[in-house]
Structure formats: C-alpha cells, structure tokens
Structure 1
C-alpha cells in the first residue's frame, strides 16, 4: 500500500519519522511501515484540546514499544482560544515535528494523508476559485523546514485503510472533531456520498490533482528558464530586467513569486487575491509590499527587496544564520548581535556607494553592540565584517 518512493526510503536504511496521532489513517501508516521495516521513529502531537488526547498518544507509544520503535509525545500548549484553531494547530504540528526531527537526526517524515484528504483539498481549492497550483492538491513529497515530508497513502482511501486495520485486528481512535460541521473540510467530508453520485470520487479528484501537478511542474520549469535569463541578484535583492507585460499573466505571476521566495526564504504563500492585487499594480508600473517583500521599480526594472519592517525585530547571535539566508564573517563576540540596519543607515556615510537603495540596505544584516552600530557590511560601514548569502 505504501507509495514506492517512500518504500524505497524505508528500505534504504535512512532514519525515518512517522507522525502518528492514533487515528485510523496514521495507525495504518504505522503498521504498514513497521511491517516493511527500517530505521523508524514515531512522534505523536498532543494538541491538548481534548481529554482523550493524552491517552491516545499513550496508546500509540504502547504499540510502538511492541514493535521496538522509539516514540515521543510532542505537546502543544499554544492555543489561547483566538484565531483559526485548525490553522494554528497545523502550524504548531509542523513546528513540533520539525524540532523533533532535527533533534533526532531525521531527514524524512511520513504523514497519514489519504486519497480522501486529497479529494477534500481539491474541492476546497475549487470553492475558492484556485488556479493550477491549488488544484494540484497535496504533493506526495514536499520540502519544509529542511525536511522531506512524505504522504505515502495519498492514493489509498480512508475506507481501504480501515478495512486493512479491521482485517488484521488492529484498532484506532476516532477524533469527534472529525464530525464537527463547523469546519469546511468536515462539511465536504460529510457530503462525500452525494459527491460520489456525481462522479466526484476520491479517485477521480485525485486524478485531477495529479494532472494539475504535472501541469504545475511544467509551468515551474518554464518559469525557472525565464528567471535564469531575466533576473539578477544584487546585494540581497533580485532584479527582474524584462518588463512583466512581455510575459503572460501566469508567467509574470510565477516569476515574481519565485523572486520573492529568493528574497524571503520562509515566505508563506500569499493568498490568491493578494497575488492578484499585487500583479495588477505591477502590470501598471506600481510597486507594493507583500509577504515581507518590497517591490519597486527602477525605471523598467522591477526590484524585489526584503521589506525593512518585516525584519525590524529579527535578532540573532552574529554566528547564526540571519533571516534564513545571511551568514556574517568577522570577530564574533557574545555581546554582539545581528539586527537589521534600519535607522542605522544614517551612520553609514558612504551607503550610496553600494549602489543599493536606502530601503534595501535598511533590511540587510548589521552587527550591533546594544544600541551601537559596529558594522553594516552591505552599506560599507565597518571593515572587519563581511556578509554572504548562503545556498538554499
């Protein structure tokens, strides 16, 4: 049942993590992976939102002990009752899993998403008028936080997995939240039988997602070819030298988003309506801000920079990676910090010699001792330090 690509990872002997909640999908993943063998570690995220959650994690731990697999429960205590619970819980889950995986030396984590989850994702995308990328749904393998996340059950239905568990005499826990119609995904799940009568089965919707993923990959390859010809790096900025109107609207959108992702490596994907508003302005020669990036025009050239305000509170030791891309070399010391140059640019008399705009430089890393500026390498201040962008 497991996807061949993930099966190969297991069989390679590489250490692999499984995210197992105790629900039917992830429990099937656990048993199937354990039967195949490999260097497996297991984590369960306890969101602490239900009284039963701790017991469910303990059940997973007991089953893992029977297999001789290490297990760890990861507790989330960040919910304050405000905002989008499902979104916050999802973000917390990925953050906890990433911390666990890095500490355990894991490079791959498997998740229990199924064909039904994929179908629900595609329908949600349809309801929002999504484009090709949205309709591609979830990928079988995605990279995030320096890890590879696998979905080896993405072409298997929830019913098939539960049938497997029942046939082998294995149990699972049902989360009552999975029946709560307050959530969009649950309402779609409850309408699955009606949708199936219209031919919108998990298998059919999964096929749509695979077709769209193929098209999306082709568009990405085309965008990369265009980017190689018309973008230039400059001091942390990215310049787009070809007028956007010379491209199709989709090519321009993808090119701009790819350049923004170079400038802000941890940028969450902006909503489609935000992208559309930005592109409408850019096509008219108007700059803007989005996703922590500042977009301006130098004549016909589009400059994409880090937005100064977005990094104003970012503080790290001088020997740490700053803003996920900058590495500084110099006389490190415990009382020094890396912060954005910001208003310190007024202390850099020769900053114009850099050829970079003032606002671009304000978003670059600078070495500070408390309120004293020690060095701003890109602004030409302080001779003992240099700054380099590290590879992705």
Structure 2
C-alpha cells in the first residue's frame, strides 16, 4: 500500500471531530504529518522533548515550523523525569504516552496517530521472538488505550523506505535521531540483521503478514476466553472469582490467557507476568493453594479461584478526593480534605460489618477507603455511604469486556 493510500483510507474511515498527530521530526512522523494535512480532518500536532539530547529542542522547533507551513496547530511537551535509574527507553516511552494522553484530553482529542511502520512491526516481532514471546507478543500492533485516549497506527502497512521516498519527491526535510543508528540498542541491532535475512526470503513485509495472521489467532483465543468468562467468571465487588472445576478443564493456553488478563486488569499493569510465574500460579490454584503475583493475591474458596488486589501493592498508595487511586478507582464525595488510601488492617477494625460483603479479609484490606486523619469515614466498595461513591478510573472497562479489547 502506498503512503498516500494508507492515510487516505484511514482518514476516510475516521469519524471523530479532530485527530492528534504525534510528530517527533523523524521521517516517518513528518511523512504522516504531510499526508494527513492534505485531508479534511482537523489536526493538532504534538512533539515530546525528553530533554535527553541537546538536539531535542531544535527538533521540536523544526516540527513547529513545518506545522506552521502546513497550517497545523502544534504543541511541544517536555519531560524531565529521568533520574538516571532503570530502563531509560522504557521510562521515556511510558512518559511520552502519558504526556500525550494528558495533552489530548486537555484539547478534547480522543485519538492520536502514531507513525509506526511495517518495518517497526517486523523489528518488534523479531525482538519479541528473541524473548520467546507467545501469540500475543508476536501479534500485530493494535490501537493502544491510555486512560480515555486511543493511539492509532495508520501506517503499519507502509514501509519506512516508501515514506522517505515520498518526502524526497516533495522536497520535504526531516531529522535523523542518531540513536536510530546506535548498535547499543536492541532495535538497531535487529534492524541491521533484518537486511541479511532477505536472502532466506524473510522480509519485513512477510514478517508483518505473519504478525497480522497471529493477531487473528489472538482475537479467536480472546473470544473463546470471553465465552468461558461469561459463564464461569464472576465479580464479587472488585474481586474476580472463577469456577475451579471448569477452569481445570480448559486448554492450558486459555487457562494462562484468562489468568494473565485478570492479573493485568486487577493491577492495571501494562505488561504481563512471566510465563513460568503464571504456570506456577495456575498449578497452585489447581492444588487449592494461595499465592501472590503481579501485585495480586489468589486463594481458593468454596470451589472458586478468588483473585484480588494484594494489600502490599497498595498500602503506600494514596490520592486526593476526586483523583484516580491505584489506576482503578476515582472516589468522590463531600469532604475535600480527606485522603484516599487502602483500608488495611486498621481500617478493617473500624468496619464491623465488612464480613457481609462475603469477601476475604485480605481482599477487603486492599480496597480504597476515605480517611480523615486516622479515622475511616467511608469505604464505598464495602457499603453504601451517603455522599461517597467509587467509580472506575477513566478508560477502565469491566473485566469481562476488557477481554475483547486487549
């Protein structure tokens, strides 16, 4: 598919009032900007300056100047959160998504386009293959949800070379990030070795086609897991319970898929736990034991696997009234000077009727509560409390529906 056709198809099917574009200044995103500017959809462009290279500020100014020429409003966002510890690329990527999502919400933009290409898809496939990823990891990239903002990828069927050729034909400039040629990064190593695979008939296009086929397999597996969940998985408050007899009869991949989904949904984690850790959790559940994984706890009660948030994972988490707590809930009510924190053992003692919920004490302890000094004034997941309510965080769907959207 040509770059022009890919963007035209995307914009023709885009039914929302405006579209955000994430533009770094590199060839892929600059090409997306030029192509999208030819359409009739109102555009807003955004660049994130991570402050990690001295050239970054100049690159943001370059994007701003291109946007002026094309008549597209532009914003530059700055991230200064790197503390020198951990995985720099991963932290920068997470921060980029979060900053752009916050910007999009402020501008009333529900969708932001990313300029990932067919080559990015092939490189990601090989990197994940090296980590022994399964169906999900090797499947085609999908739209990504951050809170209530959807990130879309209209250029996944277009090669990097075709985008640059289009820019050259138009006499358009772009910037080259030197890190794209630094062999210290795994993606650069994969990119360099991918060229040598063409002699074996392995091309970026072929790999991308395989990823697309695996995405269909992923969809079928999620559909099967959703059908099982509709019959055998139930919510008890914020906890998830699964009929252990029916679960034991599932194929191993569906057992794994279901538990991984529940763990990620409960914890709000972006990534899945390691495959062996999940296999161990499944075996412990089938043996009737208890375990913790991924910030969640598991026990078996009355023929059901009971999964809930682990108190240790939230005991230090707090939020103001009306703000998101633990990426899961927004607690709102009349007392603005209160704080939201986990109930814990101390709070549990202040709620003599908590057993009426039918939930394990360990699960209730991980619930959000409204604290005024050292006193619990509301626990909206346990009992109706006048003036206080708990609502899902923005963009958070129920556990069953989320099986079909991940």
TM range, smaller chain: over 0.9
Q: Distance in 2 between matches of 1:274 and 1:58?
A: 46
Q: Is residue 16 of structure 2 the alignment partner of residue 6 of structure 1? A: no
Q: Is residue 68 of structure 2 the alignment partner of residue 65 of structure 1? A: yes
Of 126, 130, 142, the residue aligned with 1:127 is: 130
Q: Distance in 2 between matches of 1:233 and 1:259?
A: 11
Gap regions ≥5 residues in structure 1: none
- Could you say which residue in structure 1 is the equivalent of 2:57? 54
Of 318, 322, 326, the residue aligned with 1:323 is: 326
Q: Is residue 312 of structure 2 the alignment partner of residue 313 of structure 1? A: no
Of 160, 168, 171, the residue aligned with 1:166 is: 168
- Could you say which residue in structure 1 is the equivalent of 2:146? 144
Which moved further from structure 2: 307-316 or 152-161? 307-316
1:335, distance to aligned residue in structure 2 (A): 1.6
Cα shift readout 1:299-333 (whole Å, capped 9, x = no counterpart): 43100111112222222233344434445565x11
Report if the CA contact (8 A) 2:291-2:299 is conserved: yes
Cα shift readout 1:106-136 (whole Å, capped 9, x = no counterpart): 0000111111110001111111111111110
Q: Identify if the C-alpha distance between structure 1 residues 57 and 377 changes in structure 2 by more than 3 Å, giving closer, same or farther.
A: closer
1:260, distance to aligned residue in structure 2 (A): 2.9
Q: Is residue 92 of structure 2 the alignment partner of residue 89 of structure 1? A: yes
Q: Is residue 249 of structure 2 the alignment partner of residue 239 of structure 1? A: no
Of 287, 293, 297, the residue aligned with 2:296 is: 293
Report if the CA contact (8 A) 2:8-2:39 is conserved: no
Cα shift readout 1:76-128 (whole Å, capped 9, x = no counterpart): 11112221111111111111111111111100001111111100011111111
Q: Identify if the C-alpha distance between structure 1 residues 48 and 329 changes in structure 2 by more than 3 Å, giving closer, same or farther.
A: closer
Report if the CA contact (8 A) 1:375-1:385 is conserved: no
- Could you say which residue in structure 2 is the equivalent of 1:335? 337
Report if the CA contact (8 A) 2:296-2:307 is conserved: yes
Q: Is residue 279 of structure 2 the alignment partner of residue 282 of structure 1? A: no
Of 157, 180, 203, the residue aligned with 1:155 is: 157
1:277, distance to aligned residue in structure 2 (A): 3.5
TM superposition score normalised by structure 1: 0.93
- Could you say which residue in structure 1 is the equivalent of 2:37? 34
Q: Identify if the C-alpha distance between structure 1 residues 314 and 203 changes in structure 2 by more than 3 Å, giving closer, same or farther.
A: same
1:273, distance to aligned residue in structure 2 (A): 4.0
Q: Is residue 105 of structure 2 the alignment partner of residue 102 of structure 1? A: yes
Number of residue pairs the alignment of both structures matches: 388
Higher relative contact order (CA closer than 8 Å, sequence separation 6+):
2
SS of the residue 1:35 aligns to: coil
Gap regions ≥5 residues in structure 2: 398-406
Q: Is residue 359 of structure 2 the alignment partner of residue 359 of structure 1? A: no
- Could you say which residue in structure 1 is the equivalent of 2:212? 210
Of 243, 251, 254, the residue aligned with 1:251 is: 254
Report if the CA contact (8 A) 2:117-2:160 is conserved: yes
Report if the CA contact (8 A) 1:326-1:387 is conserved: no
Report if the CA contact (8 A) 1:239-1:303 is conserved: yes
Q: Distance in 1 between matches of 2:211 and 2:282?
A: 26
SS of the residue 2:83 aligns to: coil
Report if the CA contact (8 A) 1:377-1:385 is conserved: no
Q: Distance in 1 between matches of 2:303 and 2:284?
A: 14
